[in-house]
Amino acid sequence: MEYVGEHILPGEIGRLSVSLAFAAALVAIIGYYLFEKTQNSNYRKLARSAFAAHSVGVFGIVLSLFYLLLNHYFEYDYVFKHSSLDLETRFVFSAFWEGQEGSFILWLFWHAVLGLILMFTAKKWESYAMMVFSAVQAFLASMVLGIYPLGLKIGSSPFILMRETEDNLGLPWTQFADYLDRFPYFMDGSGLNPLLQNYWMTIHPPTLFLGFASTLVPFALAMAALFKGDLKSWVKPTIPWAFFSVGILGLGILMGGAWAYEALSFGGFWAWDPVENSSLVPWITMAGAAHLLIVFRNKRTGLAAAFFMSILTFILILYSTFLTRSGVLGDSSVHAFVDLGLSGQLLIYLLFFTLISLGLFLYRYKQMKTPDDGDDLSSREFWMFIASLVLLISAFQIIFSTSIPVINKLIGPEGLIPILEDAMAPPLDAIKHYNSWQLPFAIIIALLMAIGQFLKYGKTSLKFFWRGIAVGFASSLVVTALFAQLYDFWRDPLYLSLLFAAVFASVSNLWFWLKKGKGKLSFAGSSVAHMGFALILLGALISNARKDIISQSQVSLGEDFPSNENALMELGDTVPMGQYQAVFEGMEVEKDKQFYQVSYFKDQNDDSPEFTLRPFLQMSEQMGPNPNPDTKHFWDRDIYTHITYSSDLEAPSPEGYKNEAEIKFNTGDTALYRNHFVILDSLEYRSPGGLTETAQLMLNRGESASYKDYQISLDSVSVNARMDEETKALRAAKITANLQVLAPNGKVQIVRPAFIIDDQTKEYRDTLLEEYNLALRFEDVETSSKKIILKVSTQLEEFKNSQQTVLAANIRVVNVMGNEFSIQPAIINEEDFTEYRDTSLEAAGLKFRFEDVDAETGDIVLKAWTKKDEDEKPFIVQKAIIFPMINILWIGSILMVIGSFIAVWQRLKA
């Protein structure tokens, strides 16, 4: 079939590019291998061209996907799912990497860029390092192949058309050649998650993925050294790459934190979420690796450790990828990817590189022996080694706790080898759990960072050590005391220790730079980066340990409940909020955003507010309302606020009522609504003509049945047929039941209800016993038993002429005092028009509506509301937190990144 209106070409180019990237990477591996074997430079030429072709393929993938997104070709599944017509062009980047496929491509792209640089600069390491690069790229490219050989799924392609996806294949709509025109559904995509429509999403993922990609270079160089058996000279060219990785990965992680703080409502910049953890851990080990490389470069010791950490970092990157993309974290993280069915492939990827690299490492381990002179307690390298070990433990602790879902998969009750009886859940208080471990590690690291500056490689004379450290120590004590006094840290020894350690580390590194580096920029790398890291610790400590939730409300919910951290603010009312008096001034709608304006006054009598914040809710069909914080920045503290609830979000209730609730129950059931028992006693039904209490009787000739106090018996059934004069065919028949009705007073009456059928219609001739208000309908004859079906109803005199169908619920409402009220809400139908007869209990301020009957269960659906106070105003519920000294954290972040890059530059020059 020829489909109409599809744009096949760009997708084909995309798929072709993927195949090219995949195949060329394989060729590059073989080429480099043959070159190493034969030293025939033609093979190297081949390999280089293959990697160049691979890169062309990768750039082709990127360009095709951008082309599809920019042109809104919604017949493509990826374009449909991640963009829409109204998406601003600047968010096309965000749409590009919102999905898993797109982020794999981003990763491929950075690897290709770094690979090209490495190819031209790696010199004698080129062959093996590029083999590793190409192998990694082949695996990554296979993730977006989207082919199904032998029924296996290999990769998930972003260039697949919607009609070709697994879910849609063979569905009826795919049979229409003109489906794109025929179904309006394909006119527009489902759009980008509104949470991701901000500039952070544009810059954070590429930075983070460059960070991930950068860890491959030290890994590839280390592997090249292991392959060649030339174990020492790889260190020098690796150092700048390692620091580049520390800097860029650190920047990516910190951007994630800044994004969470600025635009998401997690209530902070770090929450120890598994996804956050799994990018932090490789950063920690990379920092360790970089320092071990320096130790080896300066003192020729600790080679095995340098190898191990460099390799481990990349393995952890792969492990993180597995964690966040295999669906394993589903229960424990708020923002892991959904499983694309690639977990098997990811696992192979992880195991392949883990086994090869660790295997090689063990194979070469004996040759890595270095002289023992790095063992002096007064040497800098010894303590750098210890610091790296601490970093490793810290990383280990984080990754172990994060891996609990994996442990469940392995040894949980439903795991591979069921050892555990209960499934392990992540720690209940994750932040406390991680902090209790990471705080002591941070103290040790900061202290080592401080003391290390006063030590020399080799041996340090005590005189030199003490002279240097005395000033730094003393001045740090003063600064620590100042902070401790300001932010009341005296009573927490652990916090106080970290405070001191962080201050000491910054001061020492400043000292080192001024004294030893003479304040020269070319000497600044380590000092600036260390100072930055120490300031991050300091800022994180103060802003987190002394954060103050100022939106405490007065409502107490009992001793065991956590204190209430959300304040209710009615329109125009003044609510105390920390040192401020806050007023909710009003709401404004701008497109899909609802801004809530809250003013903060220093004093209630002030005319103009100190400042005004406008946190907003972003409304979207897919995601519902999403709170977006607004923060007032002061130099020494931030006031961070977000809306947690708003009266605008309440379901629309009838005028003057609120708190809509839905109750579903059946006859005899009791429900609880606002301290009232609501009991459904019975249902009443009334059909047109005022008929009610209808019963169905089935009678054979000579039988009788009772309805209320009446005995009804069937004498006989007579059939009157009308034939067509000419054809003698049956044209119509009147079927009459001859009934006797015996009243309680002994009086007998004869009635003859009937129905007339022809080939199209059925008409009832009902009878009415006016004296008894009894209506009888001869409904039908049951074919098998020949019994007649009779419907007997009581007619309500006053509704004789009504055309309404009424369904009413007899409900009792009992309050806490035991007082009972009977109500009868009803649904009234008249000629396709439905009306609700609501009932309200004025005294209790309740209103009830009989909404519907559940066709499946027969339950009735009742809606209940409570009355609004006359003077009730719109309100918001807001959370407001003061983060003191959070700017130290941001300054530290910037310094650390700058410092890392200075270090790269320094090492490139060296």
Rule CB under 8 A: which of 327-356 touch another protein? 330-332, 334, 338
Any contact of residue 411 with another protein (CB under 8 A)? no
> Is the CB of 433 or the CB of 787 nearer to another protein?
433
575 touches another protein (CB under 8 A): no
Q: Does 392 bind another protein (CB under 8 A)?
A: yes
CB of 345 to another protein, least distance (A): 18
Tell me which stretch binds another protein (CB under 8 A): 377-385, 472-480, 501-509, 733-741.
377-385
At which residue do the structure tokens 């899909």 appear?
A: 592
Q: How far is the CB of 188 from another protein (least distance, A)?
A: 11
Q: How far is the CB of 637 from another protein (least distance, A)?
A: 25
| 8-state DSSP, 266 | S
Quote the crossing angle between the two packed helices 525-545 and 462-487, to the nearest 10°: 30
Q: Report in angstroms how near the CB of residue 205 gets to another protein at its nearest.
A: 18
Cα–Cα distance for residue pair 36/391, rounded to 1 Å: 37
- What does the H/E/C string look like for 441-476? HHHHHHHHHHHHHHCECCCCCHHHHHHHHHHHHHHH
CB of 154 within 8 A of CB of 86? no
Among 56, 661, 698, 814, binds another protein (CB under 8 A): 661
Contact 110, 217 (CB under 8 A): no
Q: Which residues within the stretch 702-761 sit at the binding site for another protein (CB under 8 A)?
A: none
State which residue, 365 or 645, has the beta carbon closest to another protein. Answer: 645
Residue from 236, 347, 348, 400 binding another protein (CB under 8 A)? 400
- The reply on whether position 629 binds another protein by CB under 8 A is no
Binding flag, residue 560, another protein (CB under 8 A): yes
Binding test (CB under 8 A) with another protein, winner from 152, 377, 729, 855: 377
| Least distance to another protein, CB of residue 162, Å | 8
**Which span sits near another protein by CB under 8 A: 106-114, 375-383, 703-711, 731-739?**
375-383
| Cβ proximity of 697 and 710 under 8 Å | no
Q: How far is CA 314 from CA 223, 238, 345, 522, 760, in A?
A: 11, 14, 17, 29, 79
* Residue 374 makes contact with another protein by CB under 8 A: yes
- Closest distance to another protein from the beta carbon of 580 (Å): 20
Residue 382 interacting with another protein (CB under 8 A): yes
For residue 591, what is the DSSP state? T
Which of 19, 378, 397, 435 touches another protein by CB under 8 A? 397
Instruction: Give whichever of 82 and 686 is closer to another protein, judged by the CB atom.
Output: 82
Interface pattern 170-189 for another protein (x via CB under 8 A): -xxx-xx--x--xxxx----
Least CB distance to another protein at residue 547 (A): 17
CA distances from 406 to 332, 395, 420 (A): 11, 17, 13
Among 424, 514, 730, 910, binds another protein (CB under 8 A): 424
Q: How far apart are CA 374 and CA 199, in angstroms?
A: 48
Rounded Cα–Cα distance for residues 41 and 690 (Å): 101
Q: Is 452 in the site for another protein (CB under 8 A)?
A: no
Q: Is 645 in the site for another protein (CB under 8 A)?
A: yes
Q: Using CB under 8 A, which of the segments 347-355, 550-558, 806-814, 836-844 binds another protein?
A: 550-558
- The answer to whether the beta carbons of residues 630 and 641 sit under 8 Å apart is yes
> Comparing C-alpha atoms, which of 596, 608, 602 is closest to residue 570?
596
* Residue 851: φ, ψ to 5°: -85, -45
Residue 719 pairs with which residues in a beta bridge?
A: 735
Given candidates 10, 206, 426, 472, which one binds another protein under the rule CB under 8 A?
426
- Taking CB under 8 A as the binding criterion, the range among 226-234, 235-243, 657-665, 698-706 that sits at the site for another protein is 657-665
672 near another protein, rule: CB under 8 A: yes
Q: In this structure, what token pair is assigned to residue 70?
A: 């920019």
Rounded CA gap, 255 and 257, in Å?
Answer: 5
Other Cβ atoms within 10 Å of 605 Cβ, number? 7
| 284-313 residues near another protein, rule: CB under 8 A | 302
Task: Collect all residues with Cβ–Cβ distance below 8 Å to 688 and sequence separation of at least 6.
Answer: 802, 803, 804, 805
The residue among 358, 553, 382, 365 whose CA lies nearest residue 451 is 382
Show the site string, 66-95: x = touches another protein by CB under 8 A, - = not: ---------------x--------------
Vertex 802: Cα angle to 801 and 806 (nearest 5): 150
Q: Which residues contact 145 (CB under 8 A, 6 or more apart)?
A: 18, 19, 22, 154, 155, 157
Instruction: State which residue, 346 or 790, has the beta carbon closest to another protein.
Output: 346
Question: Buried b / exposed e across 143-170, counting CB within 10 Å, b at 16+?
Answer: bbbbeeeeeebbbbbbbbbbbbbeeeee
Site string for another protein, 98-137 (x = CB under 8 A): ----------------------------------------
Name which of 44 and 849 has its Cβ closer to another protein.
849
Output the CA angle 822-826-832, nearest 5 degrees.
175
Q: Is 908 in the site for another protein (CB under 8 A)?
A: no
Smallest CA-to-CA distance from 313 within 441, 399, 255, 379 is with: 399
> Which of 470, 474, 557, 723 touches another protein by CB under 8 A?
557
Q: Per-residue x/- mask for another protein, residues 802 to 841, rule CB under 8 A?
A: ----------------------------------------
Total interface residues for another protein by CB under 8 A = 76
For another protein, the closer of residues 523 and 645 by Cβ is 645
Position 666 contacts another protein (CB under 8 A): no
* CB of 400 vs another protein, minimal distance in Å: 6
Output DSSP code: residue 630. Answer: E
**Structural tokens at position 658:** 């609120």
**Nearer CB in complex with another protein: 386/768:** 386
Burial class (CB in 10 A: 0-12, 13-18, 19+), 556: exposed
Tell me the window of 55-63, 144-152, 317-325, 420-428 that interacts with another protein (CB under 8 A).
Answer: 420-428
Is residue 326 involved in binding another protein (CB under 8 A)?
Answer: no
Rule CB under 8 A: which of 520-539 touch another protein? Answer: none
DSSP state string for 478-525: HHHHHHHHHHT-TT-HHHHHHHHHHHHHHHHHHHHHHHTSTT-GGG-H
Among 623, 695, 723, 910, binds another protein (CB under 8 A): 623
Task: Extract the runs of DSSP E, i.e. beta strands, from 770-884.
Answer: 774-781, 788-795, 805-814, 820-823, 826-830, 833-837, 839-841, 846-853, 860-867, 875-884
From candidates 341, 344, 586, 624, binder to another protein by CB under 8 A: 624
